[in-house]
Structure 1
């Protein structure tokens, strides 16, 4: 609910604070005191259109601030939090309009676009009046009202929406797969060609590096043999060797070991040198054997070299297309194989989806037909109930009709009857709330058939009948709801507002004492005139002060007879409010 609203510099209002209560809040005041400005200020707070002409003469700006106390999961609070507002201890809304015309909006201490303030406002307050965007402004809103009238309709709607969501998701997936079939086929063909090319070469992990080394070795085989032969001759000795030496390094090392051996017992240092020479001889001997083995293994094989180079060329062709290394080529091949399996499996997926849709579609059609029948029955009951309420609200000749129709469509949803109709997530129906304002007049869409005051009364009747259940907003504002009525009709309007106020917070601006008598909190807009400027403020009245205000509203004075009449009116209203509710 709205806890309070502070208005500054708006029209005739210098500064006014509306301290609001749960239940029915009534705003009254003399003509010209600024009651309309209260509704205008509330409209600004909820994101309505701003006009610099609203700024009070002599003020630099108009500002309106309000505080709302809401459940943590309420849509208004959730939307405000999404916009970055601080909603820890409730929600603060603020709007200002400069005299130069610039408008600013804030939510929870954060500057936001006016559109965001409006979105939050729509979830917070429903304003019903001649100049306001009220809840029956579109066919979709008409449907929401009807669906909120009876729980069974809401249950059937949820069932339809659950089936619709599943059906819609599957149909969208099938359409996507079908529309991409040609592209998918081209991609699959390309992958098959690539995989066949890789399979034909059959690269092995690390093969490219191994072949690179073998290619280098075979390309230099002659030079490698020459170098190894010379090294072997120098180690082992060869009479025909390089410099005519008759002995090699092994022979020289053997002679050096022999030269030291007789004297090793005389000097430990010399003995260590002898040992190291002996170890070097063993190493040189092993090395000589290894070099000889290398000479045996080195081949000059032009055929093998040609094959290695051709194989490397094949691998290089793959690496240009699919990866810098054989490992990357093989990884690409694995990924491509998985992708190909997915692409080839899409046809099977389409068949699976079509089989599932064949099962779901009749069930969706049956759910749509059941929802339609429930709505049609509920529409008759809603129309009758609202019509009865309108008779109590001084619209005795008015007749409300809630129409529930379908539109044929050759590619629409097939119903059990075989008929195909347009459908959406909210069912197969178009709902229109129409009003015949006078006997014999044809019903017309309610926004065109009723005046401002009548619109407010129609909406009041709807809200009373549905107990506010057709809306998630916690606060209802009625302006001009008593336009053109009085006497007993005014009493009935007050009683119906009090009835609605049992379910939600209600704020009503009225000139009728019969309505004001039902208030849980009575606020009066008072105007003072010092000869220079006019300023209005808002005060709560209770007890004798409230009785005098009711007397003024009824007769224009506070005479004894007027006060006595006001007391009787107030007592009668309170007695009616305290009557047990029907069914309790």
Structure 2
């Protein structure tokens, strides 16, 4: 429900703050007073085109803020768009338009796109008028309106649709894969044979590269190891010379204590040198390799890397690629059986969808008859006795089937006996169209819709009993939703729970539009003015009293 509207610098409105309550609120005023400006301002907040022409002359920008008591089902939409909203808190929608062009939207003081404002607006407010080309006049929404009227749940049909679409997608993918595989069968056989012959293993490239590195390093230090062995343990090596020196010292050591110490030190050196030689020999044995092994490893590494480049994968992924290609070949070989199974599944899913959609069509057809009867009952009081209304439920071509079934639903009218049925917007005149919209809305009202409905001069061109009938039906609608009605009809105005007067004032320099809520006495005067014109007579006041009393 719309609870407040704040307007700043929009056309002739300098500053305006309005509060709204439940029930029927009426907006009246003389022709040209600016009633359309009020609706344009609300439309701006709800995502309408941000025209800089709406900015009041001399102002830098215009702004409109609409405050709503939002329905619970808006929470998911707000969450999807990153808008924070506390449960139980009002929803504040604001739009700013600059005089030099450009606009910004906000929801709960958080930036929001015009598209989001429009989506919120469609959920929060319905606007109906003679020139409304959306809502009830848009055939694209008629199916949803009929389903809402009949309380039809199309979730089962939607699930069947998704199942069928999924089966068709799987079938198409399988057919495409087999077509590609068949076209590339020769290549596939060759690739699998190559990979099978190579027999790559995960991690093999890294192991080969490490082993090659070790062998290449060993090759480089082999000469140094040989030289070291000769230097230590050769016939003329250090170890042989130290042993010869030890033998000489052994003969002469008794001649002097220092020679004995020298002999002991030399013995120790011989032992350490021997140990060093043993370590060098052990390393040489460990680093020894067969040159053919290095060649084999390098050849294997070259093959692995070459195959990886050929298939544009990493060497470690070759084993997985081989499995994948073998799987593709296996699927190709078993493809016909798979296709047959998928075709059967798709046929079964289609049959299930068609059956579910047919049940929905039957329910819609029955609901259409009930809706037609309900609308027909509303037409005579609105002086549309000769008119006929019908809801057509017709099959769609298969390419247009969808999650909501395979029906095209459209509301049609014939305004005169014997005249053909046609779309509402093409057949009805302005006044007739307004009354048809009201009749249809009354028939649909019990099954929900937006919490706020606005009727823009829906009573234009009618009076007397017809205006009274319109007022009575608007009053009935207001028992289920908040209604705001821009009206020139005193019969409608008398039904209002709240009465707003829109008027222009001129201080000799600037013209401004203002809106104020009327007190009971002021309301009586305004309805009397609507009855009698510029000069308000006592008879008009008395008639206004009667209208208010009987409302």
TM-score by length of 2: 0.82
SS of the aligned residue for 1:172 comes to helix
Q: Which residue of 2 aligns with 1:392?
A: 381
Q: Which residue of 1 aligns with 2:436?
A: 458
Q: Is the 8 A contact 2:199 2:319 kept in 1?
A: no
- 2:306 is aligned, of 302, 317, 320, to 320
| 2:243 counterpart of 1:283 | no
- 1:251 is aligned, of 232, 239, 243, to 243
| Cα shift at 1:393 | 2.4
Q: Is the 8 A contact 1:233 1:248 kept in 2?
A: no
Matches within 5 A, 1:140-539: 140-151=140-151, 154-155=152-153, 157-185=154-182, 190=187, 193-202=190-199, 205=204, 206-207=207-208, 209-210=210-211, 228=226, 231=229, 235=233, 237=235, 248-249=240-241, 251-252=243-244, 255=247, 258=250, 273=265, 276-277=268-269, 279-280=271-272, 283=275, 286=278, 305=291, 309=295, 312-322=298-308, 329-338=315-324, 340-341=326-327, 344-345=330-331, 347=335, 350-407=339-396, 412=398, 423-467=401-445, 469=447, 471=449, 473-539=450-516
Q: Say if 1:121 and 1:343 are closer, same or farther in 2 by CA, change over 3 A.
A: farther
CA-to-partner distance for each residue in 1:320-343, whole Å, 9 max, x for gaps? Answer: 23179xx96344213441464267
Q: Say if 1:269 and 1:81 are closer, same or farther in 2 by CA, change over 3 A.
A: farther
Provide the aligned length of Structure 1 versus Structure 2: 538
Matches within 5 A, 1:53-72: 56=56, 62-72=62-72
Matches within 5 A, 1:44-83: 44-49=44-49, 56=56, 62-74=62-74, 79=77
Q: Matched residues in 1 for 2:251 and 2:182: separation? A: 86
Gaps of 5+ in 1: 413-420, 574-584
Q: Is the 8 A contact 2:487 2:493 kept in 1?
A: yes
TM-score by length of 1: 0.78
Write 1 or 2 for the structure with the bigger share of helix.
Answer: 2
Q: Matched residues in 1 for 2:486 and 2:252: separation? A: 128
SS of the aligned residue for 1:149 comes to helix
Q: Say if 1:379 and 1:59 are closer, same or farther in 2 by CA, change over 3 A.
A: same
SS of the aligned residue for 1:47 comes to coil
Greater shift in the superposed pair: 142-151 or 13-22: 13-22
Gaps of 5+ in 2: none
Q: Say if 1:312 and 1:159 are closer, same or farther in 2 by CA, change over 3 A.
A: same
Q: CA RMSD in A?
A: 4.2
